[in-house]
Structures are given as C-alpha cells and as structure tokens.
Chain A
Amino acid sequence: MVPLHGRLSTRLWAGLATPGTVWLVALFVVPVYAILAVAFGNIDPILRTTAPEWNPLLWDFGPFRMILDRILDPDDLGAVFIRTGLFALAALAGCCLIGYPVAYFVARTAHRSRGLLLALLVLPFWISYLMRMLAWVNLLQTDGYINRLLGWLQLPSNRNWLDGDWPTVVIGLVYGYVPFFILPLYAALERLDVRWLEAARDLGATPVWTFLRVTLPLSIPGLLAASVIVVLPMCGDYFTNSYLTGGSPRTEMVGNQIEQFLRGSSQPQSGASLVIILMLLLVVLMAYYLVTIARSQREASA
C-alpha cells in the first residue's frame, strides 16, 4: 500500500500538471481537431465560408484525397513539397555552419561577454520578422549593399538576387531562424562536462581530435533539438519566400500554397488538408528526434 504522504504528493503533482494539460488541450488538441473538421468539412453554400464538420462520422475525405493525388504528382504539388524539404535542409546546413561556431564560442570561450553575446543573439527578435525581411529586400536589390560589397571585393556584382532564385530564399531562412538554432545548441554545449575534454587532452588527443571525438558526439542531442526547432517552422514558412523573390513560382513553398487556399478561397478544405499532410511529415521527423534522444539518454545512463 502507498503511504499517505506518497498519495498526497501524487495528487499534488497531478494538480500542478493541470494548467499545463488545460493549456495543451486548449491550444493544441482543439486547434488540431478544428483543422481536421475544416479539412473534412464543407463550405457554406451561400457565404462560401468554411463550414467545419465536427462529427467524424460525417467527414468527407474527397478534397483530402484530391490534394494527396496532387502531392503524389512530382510535376504538381509534389514539386512544392520536395522544394520545401530541400530549402529547409539547405538552410539547416547554413544554420549549422554559422550557428555551431557561434554557440561553441559563447558556451565555451566567451566567459565575461557571455551575457552580452546572448543578449545580442536575442536582439533581432525585437524587430518583426516582416521588417527584417523587407530590410533584406533593400540589401539584396541590384544596386543594394550586398552587390556593392561584392563589387568592392572585386567579385561579380551585378547579380539580381531577387529574381526568384533558391539561394536567396535559403539565405533568408538561415538569417530568420539561426538564433533559434544557436540558443538550444548553446544550452547543450554549456552543459558539457569539462572533465571529458580534460580527459581527452590528458590522453594525448589534439584539440581537433577532442572536438571530433568528444565535443561533437556529445553535442548531437543539442544539434538535433536545434535542428528540429528550426526545420519545423521553416517547412511552414511563406513570408521569406514571398518577400525575397517577388512572388516567383520557381520558389513556391508549401506555406505559400496553404496561404493561397486558406486566404479566402472556395476550398479551405484543400488548405487544411495541406496543413495535415505537412504536420504528418513533420511528426515523422519529430519521432526520429525523440527516439534518438531516448537512445542517447539510455546510453548515457548505461
């Protein structure tokens, strides 16, 4: 039998979890169910506004199937999904290249200036994402500062960055999301036990070898967490692309198609279906992350 104080403490913890549970239900479960109700629901015949179907027994899967067919067609929405995935991967690579050294420096090297550096990393969030993208439009214009800088460096400087090319979208995504990448990675690197590094050094490992064999493997959970945090929103991003390419179909992402269908079209079901499919794909990513984390924790405790 569980002692009385044990039962009380169980109840206490359950009670303390209530606000979190309510939060989760109100802001996750209900909206997700609402998306399902829209995707499998109807349209008001007069107003053409969405008429969600809350009863799962009456759900109509027709529009969902139609969208699925279009996604399976590599010349249609399939191309948009592949493009979005490639953009997110390229931007993730960019985040790793820029973010890892910064996170490493802040966590391991900068002792006195750490607070200031962290504050500087958070600073861009004070300005709206939209404004920051508009600033990039100015920087990337044919006669903008980026081309002027390239000219000054004797590099080709007449590139039209805003002509609907993928590198510009990737640059925008990296810029927009890199702080989200650095912060969790910083937290992971900062927690790294210095004694591991000292042991490696004592055993004769060079700094590079220590990094490759000790620091990098130990920071993989942090890297994964940071990657998940940036890749999930990147896959749904639509602002970056709209602003930095002047609306070129060559760089259309899934988020743009969702916007198109949900922004007052006669088939919000298609938009909601796209949301569901994107969500399912991202759940797979999330599951991989959780499995990896669980495995590394088991290994750590073994």
Chain B
Amino acid sequence: MPGSRRRFLAQSIGFGTMFAAGVPLLGACGGDSASGKRVTKAIKDGLSPEAGPLRVFNFADYVNPDVVAKFEEQYGVKVEITTFDVDAEAISKLASGAVEVDVHHSCAPATLSRLIDGGLLQPLNPSYLTNRGNVLSAFDDPWYDPGSTYTVPYTVYSSGIGYRADRIDPAEIEERGWDIIWDARFKGVTSILDDYREGISLALLRRGITDINTTDVDLIEQASADLQELVDLVNVKVNITGYTDVPEGATTLAHTWSGDMLAGAASYLPEGTDASVLGWWFPKDSKGPVGNDCMAVTSNASNPVLAHLYINFLLDAAIAEENWYWNGYLPPIEGLDAAYLVGQGLTPPNLESAVLTDDIIKNGLTYRPLDLETDQVWEAAWSRFTAG
C-alpha cells in the first residue's frame, strides 16, 4: 500500500535522506547487474531451514516486533529487517542489487508484475506453507498472481471516508457518498489521500465512474479539474495523516484507508474522547477501492526455506491476530472478521464496516497496473491538482 499511519514519520525522515543521497539515481549507478544467483524455480520439498540470518525487506513499523521475536525464538535464527519508504524504491533497490534480502514483506499488487517480469521473485513451494489454508478463500487465485504462485496476502484494506460522527449525520454521508468531500460546509476540515491513484479515483467514483483504471484521457482530466475545485471550495489538505487528524478532531472528513480508522480508534483518540465519535463510510454495493499487500521470496534469497517458514509463521491465526493488534491493518485470515473483532472488544461497533468482509474483498474495485503512457497521464493530472 502507498503508506500508513505509523509509516508517515519514518517515511518523511527516510525520504529526506533518500533525496539527499539521490536514490532516484540509484538505478543509474547500479545498472541491472544485480549480484547473487537468481532462481526461477521453487525450492524442493522437505529441505531443512538455513542458519540465517533471515533478511526481510519491509515498510518501517509494519510488522509487530514481538511477532518477529517469537519467530526468532522458535527457529533459533536472527531476523534482520531492512526498510523502504515507497514501493518504487523497493523495486529499484531489489533490481539494482543495492539491497539483498530473502523476503519481500510488502509487495503491492499493482506493481507485482514488475517484480515477477523483472525476475526478482521466486515461485513459492506450497508444501512449506502449512497455514496457507487460513487465508480467506477470496485470495485463492488473486488477479495479480494467478494460482498464488509467487505471493501470499499480508494485509487487506479499503479506501473510503473516515469522519467525525459527532459533526456529520452518518445518514447524510450514506446518502451522498463520495460527493460529501465536495461540501463547502466542511471547508478547512476535509482531507484526501496523498496518492495519485487514490485521489484521481475519488473524483472518478464521485461521478459514478467505477473504472478506477481508466485509460480515457478526458475522464482523467475531468477528475483532475474536479479535484482542483476542492482547493478553493473546501481548502482541501492532501496527506496520509487521517489516522490522527480525525480522532484528534483537526479533520472532520478524511478520504482515507479503513486501517487508519481502526488504528485511530485504538491508538490516537485524545483522552476523554470516546471511539463513538468516529465513523467509516464505504459504498454499500462494495464498489469502492480495495487493496492488499503481499509477501514473497526473492529470486536471489540465500535463506529460501527460512523465508517460506517466516511467511508461514505470519499466516498462523494467533500470530496474525497479535500482529494486527499492533499494526492496525487486517490480515486476511479466516475468523478475524467483524463479528469476532467487535465481540472481543477489539473494534468499536461503529467501525464494524471498516473490517473488510469476504464480499467487499471479492467485489471491491482494485487498482490494476497502468501502461506507461496512461500512468503518466494520471500522474500529470494529479500534479496539476497538487500545484494548486
């Protein structure tokens, strides 16, 4: 996914150093001669785990350290986590050989084909993934990885509207949907996600266009113009801090990720503020953006068996729950559903709809890879909006 609550600060700091060091030029310096032997076949059955250390590549603060410590204890190995800030940086570093790791912990479906076609991942051997059956059936044969050859899903989330239920009537949002973002009553207290796919899609969805991968230049330009309207109309803010801004009250309406509202309820409400002030809206017909991150083993992994065991470990239901509680983003594991989470008191009842159902995962809209030319049209349209 493009970013998250805990990652915001780390990303910003990281980007400062990345910018200074000229990471965009890394590819320039590294060429495509990645070191290490790359394999294109899955490992054999029944191999014993390597001695480690297991090298994991992930967003900062995106896995519970206690869970990692449990894995280290169980298998008697060290886990070394290397972090990246944005998806494209991960691809660039893996491709150039600047980073050599065993597990890519958070691949994005929209860019997965780059990793596979670029020969950077190896097929998984299901015999090591004994907990694979715990994963929701919606992910048996995902569009981005037919037959789940290379990946298993790590987290799922949807993009919708997080809001203050003490300031807007939930019934009004239910009636108006995405259009509520264009309401001048909420001038100064409205934000949208700082991501070109999410932002342009918000404007498309508001006009009832559910093709969030459109190649139609007129539609994209129209969406850009609609977003530009928000600058004066509601003095819109473009960020990924809805997880704190809504609970703290600085923002009333935030186009944000479902995980951010769940995390906001768990960790960011000021003292004395009840979780009932938070609300979450996602289209009732499930026609809204749904995304997931997934885990994979790199093609030049030197600990491929251990890498499989690590992925399998995170698919264990109890471990997944422990990880969710710290991370805020829900793993697509059977049983970790709204009824269970609300029943256990882990999620407030008013945010029940932020927990993804099988139906939302199956019928939600997904961001697909765009061809280069279309991608550039989307990016230019977004840049025209953010230029103010």
**Residue A99 at the chain B interface, CB threshold 8 Å:** no
State which residues 141-199 of B face A: CB under 8 Å: 188, 191, 194, 196
- B372 touches which one: A43, A50, A164 (CB < 8 A)? A43
User: Contacts A163-B235, A257-B383, A271-B24: A252 and B241 contacting too (C-beta < 8 A)?
Assistant: no
Per-residue CB contact flags for chain A residues 273-290 toward chain B (1 = under 8 Å, else 0) read 000000000000000000
Are A252 and B92 in contact, CB atoms less than 8 angstroms apart? no
> B215 to chain A: closest CB distance in Å?
14
B89 within 8 A of A: yes
**A180 interface residue (CB < 8 Å to B):** no
Cβ-closest chain A residue relative to B11: A263
> Smallest CB–CB gap between A77 and chain B, Å?
6
- Let me know if A268 and B24 touch, CB within 8 A: yes
- Kindly state whether residue A37 has any CB partner on chain B within 8 Å: yes
- Output the nearest chain A residue to B382 by Cβ-Cβ distance: A260
What separation, in Å, do the CA atoms of A262 and B26 have in the docked complex? Answer: 12
Q: Which residues of A contact B25 (CB under 8 A)?
A: 31, 34-35, 38, 50, 52
Residues A77 and B28 in contact, CB atoms below 8 Å apart: no
Residue in A130, A164, A245, A261 with the greatest tally of chain B CB atoms within 10 Å:
A164
A50-B28, A163-B188, A246-B245 are contacts. A266–B372 as well, Cβ < 8 Å?
A: yes
Interface membership of B239, Cβ < 8 A: yes
Q: Does A105 touch B at the CB level, under 8 Å?
A: no
| Docked-complex contact B188 and A160, CB < 8 angstroms | yes
**Contact A34 B88, beta carbon cutoff 8 Å:** no
Contacts of A248 in B (CB 8 A): 235-238, 388
Q: How many inter-chain contacts with C-beta < 8 Å in the A-B complex?
A: 141
Assembled-state Cα–Cα distance A43/B379 (Å): 15
A249 within 8 A of B: yes
Query: Within B1-20, which residues are at the interface with A (CB < 8 Å)?
Result: 12-13, 15-16, 19
Q: How far is the CA of A266 from the CA of B381 in the complex (A)?
A: 13
Please give the number of chain B residues whose Cβ is less than 8 angstroms from any Cβ of chain A in the complex: 50
Confirm or deny: B117 has a beta carbon within 8 angstroms of a beta carbon on chain A.
yes
Give Cα distance in the complex from A47 to B31, angstroms. Answer: 12
Contact between chains at B12 and A79 (CB < 8 Å): no
Query: Interface 1/0s, chain A 86-102, versus B by CB < 8 A?
Result: 00000000000000000
Contact A49-B27, Cβ < 8 Å, known A79-B388, A163-B188, A249-B231: yes
Given known contacts A76-B384, A259-B19, A266-B376, A52 and B28 CB-to-CB distance under 8 angstroms: yes
Judge if B87 is at the interface, Cβ distance under 8 Å: yes
Residue A48 CB within 8 A of the other chain: yes
Q: Which residue of B lies closest to A48 (CB)?
A: B114
Q: How near does chain A come to B217, taking the closest CB pair, in angstroms?
A: 15
B118 and A246 within 8 A (CB): no
From B22, B28, B95, B379, give the contact of A265 (CB < 8 A).
Answer: B379
Question: CB distance A49 to B92 under 8 Å?
Answer: yes
Q: How far is the CB of A133 from chain B (nearest CB, A)?
A: 10
- A247 in contact with B237 (CB, 8 Å): yes
Interface of B is mostly: helix
B191 touches A239 (CB 8 A): no
Give Cα distance in the complex from A3 to B13, angstroms. Answer: 57
Least CB distance, A51 to chain B, in whole angstroms: 7
Is the beta-carbon distance between B372 and A47 smaller than 8 angstroms?
A: no
Task: State A257–B385 Cα separation when bound (angstroms).
Answer: 11
Is A266 a contact partner of B379 (Cβ separation < 8 A)?
yes
* Known contacts A79-B388, A246-B239, A256-B386; A51/B27 CB under 8 A: yes
* A134 to B202 CA separation, bound complex (whole angstroms): 29
- How many angstroms between the C-alpha atoms of A49 and B23 in the bound complex? 11
For residue A250, CB closer than 8 A to chain B, the reply is yes
Q: Which residue of B lies closest to A255 (CB)?
A: B19
Complex contact A164–B235 (CB within 8 A): yes
Q: Which residue of A lies closest to B29 (CB)?
A: A34
The answer to whether A130 and B12 touch across the interface, beta carbons within 8 angstroms, is yes
Scan A31-47; emit 1 where CB is below 8 A from any B CB, else 0: 10011011000011111
How many of A's residues come within 8 Å of B, CB to CB?
54
B375 on interface, CB distance cutoff 8 Å: yes
CA gap between A270 and B381 in the complex, in Å: 13
Q: Does B47 have its Cβ within 8 Å of any Cβ on chain A? A: no
Q: How far is the CB of B383 from chain A (nearest CB, A)?
A: 6
Asked, given contacts A51-B27, A259-B15, A266-B372, whether A46 binds B387 with beta carbons under 8 Å apart, the answer is no
Bound Cα distance A138, B114 (Å): 41
Bound state CA distance, A47 and B96, in angstroms?
Answer: 11
**Known interface pairs A46-B114, A47-B114; A37-B22 also in contact (CB < 8 Å):** no
Q: A47-B114, A49-B91, A239-B16 are in contact. Are A31 and B22 (CB under 8 A)?
A: yes
Q: For the complex, what is the distance from the CA of A261 to the CA of B238, rounded to whole Å?
A: 16
Interface membership of A83, Cβ < 8 A: yes
Let me know if B129 is at the binding interface, CB within 8 A: no
Cα A60 to Cα B84 in complex, Å, equals 30
Name A206-263 residues within 8 Å CB distance of B.
239, 242, 245-252, 256-257, 259-263
Is B341 interfacial (CB 8 A cutoff)? no
Determine whether the beta carbon of B95 is less than 8 Å from that of A47: yes
A43 to chain B, nearest CB (A): 7
Q: Does A147 contact B (CB under 8 A)?
A: no
Contact A47 B387 (CB under 8 A): no
- Bound-state CA distance A190–B383 (Å) is 47
Q: Are the CB atoms of B388 and A252 closer together than 8 Å? A: yes
A246 and B386 in contact (CB under 8 A), knowing A50-B28, A51-B27, A265-B379?
no
Interface string of B235-271 (1 = CB under 8 A from A): 1111101000100001000000000000000000000
B42 within 8 A of A: no
In the assembly, what is the distance between CA of A160 and CA of B250, in Å? 10
Q: Complex: how many Å from CA A53 to CA B388? A: 32
Residues of B82-109 whose CB lies within 8 A of A: 85-89, 91-92, 95-96
Contacts beyond the supplied A249-B231, A257-B387: 17 A-B pairs with Cβ under 8 Å? A35-B25, A37-B28, A46-B117, A48-B375, A77-B383, A163-B235, A247-B238, A248-B237, A251-B388, A252-B386, A252-B388, A263-B24, A265-B196, A265-B379, A267-B376, A267-B380, A272-B24
* 6 A-B pairs closest in CB distance: A264-B88, A249-B388, A247-B239, A246-B237, A247-B238, A52-B28
